[in-house]
Amino acid sequence: MGNSIYKVPGGKLLKIKLTPSEGRILAIVIKGDFFLHPEETLVALEEFLAGKELDEIALAADIQNFFDEADASLVGASAADIAKAILMAV
Amino acid sequence: MEEFRFLELCVHNAYENMAVDEAITLAIKEGKAPPTLRLYRWRPSAVSIGTFQGMTDEVDLKYCRLNKIDYIRRITGGGAVYHDFEGEVTYSLIVPKGHRLAPSNILKSYKIICGGIIEALKQMKIKAKFRPINDVVTGGKKISGNAQTRRNSCVLQHGTTLLDLDVEVMFSILKVPKEKISDKMIQDVKKSVTSIREVLGRHVEVDELGKALEVGFSKALKIDLIPGALMAQEWADAQRLMKEKYSTTKWNLSR
């Protein structure tokens, strides 16, 4: 189990609680003082990330696609910031 | 000018306050309530955290229980806020989606709605400006924090404007390891956050801020504030939300 805290430059704080398994995400909790509309998207994202490979570039793309498909807006951080924070927790 | 229902400065506990905000969105969604501006205080004093924050990460629950400070999770994102009964006034502005005050560009809508606070501070001879993403600052220091949610076909923005600031109490409530609360940290917060009483160097009554917010929102947002009350259905929804959501451990400690 790993944790990370990443203050996005000019943005908000991301706190990650990660359970990795063999280079993949087994479980993840994303916390922080960012904004995400609609808010329910976050729990769905955490579920979506389970099983994904711990590769920063691939994760950033997956997260961005997930937000695009959910028509969600993240404010105070970006998909790439979340991916970065996740890798920091490894 | 466009008419808004105005719910005058009133006092509720944390659970009622958050439940009422959500209940109003339900009524507006059903077309039963007009756009609404609400001013309120928190008694007992309470700490609210952003919807994505971890309660036990952010808040010293033991200190809160000992000092009879409520703690609650908001439906809006953003950070932890200490709502001191004597030290701040909270507003909420709720409009249907697509309203001119809430364009789809989120930063733009923060800026528009925060205009009400900036005008209120101007009424009190304080020069303030909007600082993206969601703050109002004066002299480079934060004096108001705001948060928005978009749900139930509504845009809800609520926020606090600081009348007074007790950094020592704030640090006791928020979970900063006690040994780390150095004089320097307290000085750092004092350099980045301020309050109306500090800026003006005089005692300002809560009602004076309440009145300034009423005038400020009306003027900046070009809205006519018509004093009103919650409808019976809104109050019933608020009671239900309070019982089933906002007062529950399941909600408040969900992260």
- pLDDT attached to residue B8: 98
> For residues A53 and A36, is the Cβ–Cβ distance under 8 A?
no
Alpha-carbon span B28 to B249, nearest angstrom:
28
Answer whether A42 sits within 8 Å of B52, measured CB to CB.
Answer: yes
DSSP code for B246: I
- pLDDT attached to residue B190: 80
List the end-to-end C-alpha distance of chain A, in Å, as a whole number: 8
Nearest CA to B88 out of B171, B16, B161, B18 is that of B161
> What is the CA B136 to chain-centroid distance, rounded?
12
CA atoms within 13 A on the CB side of B182: 4
Contact list in A for residue B107 (CB cut-off 8 A) is 75
Q: How confident is the model at residue B179 (pLDDT cuts 50, 70, 90)?
A: low
Contact list in B for residue A42 (CB cut-off 8 A) is 52
Angle value at C-alpha B87, between B148 and B120, nearest 5 degrees: 60
Q: B184: distance to nearest CA of chain A, Å?
A: 20
**CA distances (Å), origin B11, targets A32, A52, B39, B84:** 29, 48, 9, 12
- pLDDT attached to residue A19: 98
pTM of the model: 0.95
pLDDT, tens digit (0-9, with 9 covering 90-100), for B120-166? 999 999 999 999 999 999 999 999 999 999 999 999 999 999 999 98
**CA distances (Å), origin B156, targets A84, B59, B233:** 31, 25, 19
- Of all residues in chain A, the one with the smallest CA distance to B73 is A33
Mean pLDDT, rounded, for B216-239: 98
Sheet of B223-227: strand order equals B129-131, B135-138, B141-151, B154-162, B88-96, B36-42, B2-12, B223-227
Alpha-carbon span B162 to B139, nearest angstrom:
14
**CA distances (Å), origin B131, targets B81, B107, B146:** 17, 10, 11
- Name residue, tokens 């993949």: A24
> For residues A75 and A36, is the Cβ–Cβ distance under 8 A?
yes
Q: A41: distance to nearest CA of chain B, Å?
A: 11
The token pair that represents B248 in the structure block: 């529950």
Structural domains of chain A in order of their starting residue, each with its CATH number: 2-88 (3.30.390.50)
Structural domains of chain B in order of their starting residue, each with its CATH number: 2-252 (3.30.930.10)
Partner-chain residue, chosen from B57, B77, B134, that has the shortest CB–CB distance to A36: B77
Nearest CA to B93 out of B236, B232, B223, B194 is that of B223
> For residues B118 and B49, is the Cβ–Cβ distance under 8 A?
no
Mean pLDDT, rounded, for B212-239: 98
- Name residue, tokens 């956050």: B193
DSSP code for B179: G
> What is the CA B69 to chain-centroid distance, rounded?
16
pLDDT, tens digit (0-9, with 9 covering 90-100), for A3-56? 999 999 999 999 999 999 999 999 999 999 999 999 999 999 999 999 999 999
Alpha-carbon span B195 to B82, nearest angstrom:
13
- pLDDT attached to residue B158: 98
Q: B244: distance to nearest CA of chain A, Å?
A: 18
Alpha-carbon span A52 to A58, nearest angstrom:
9
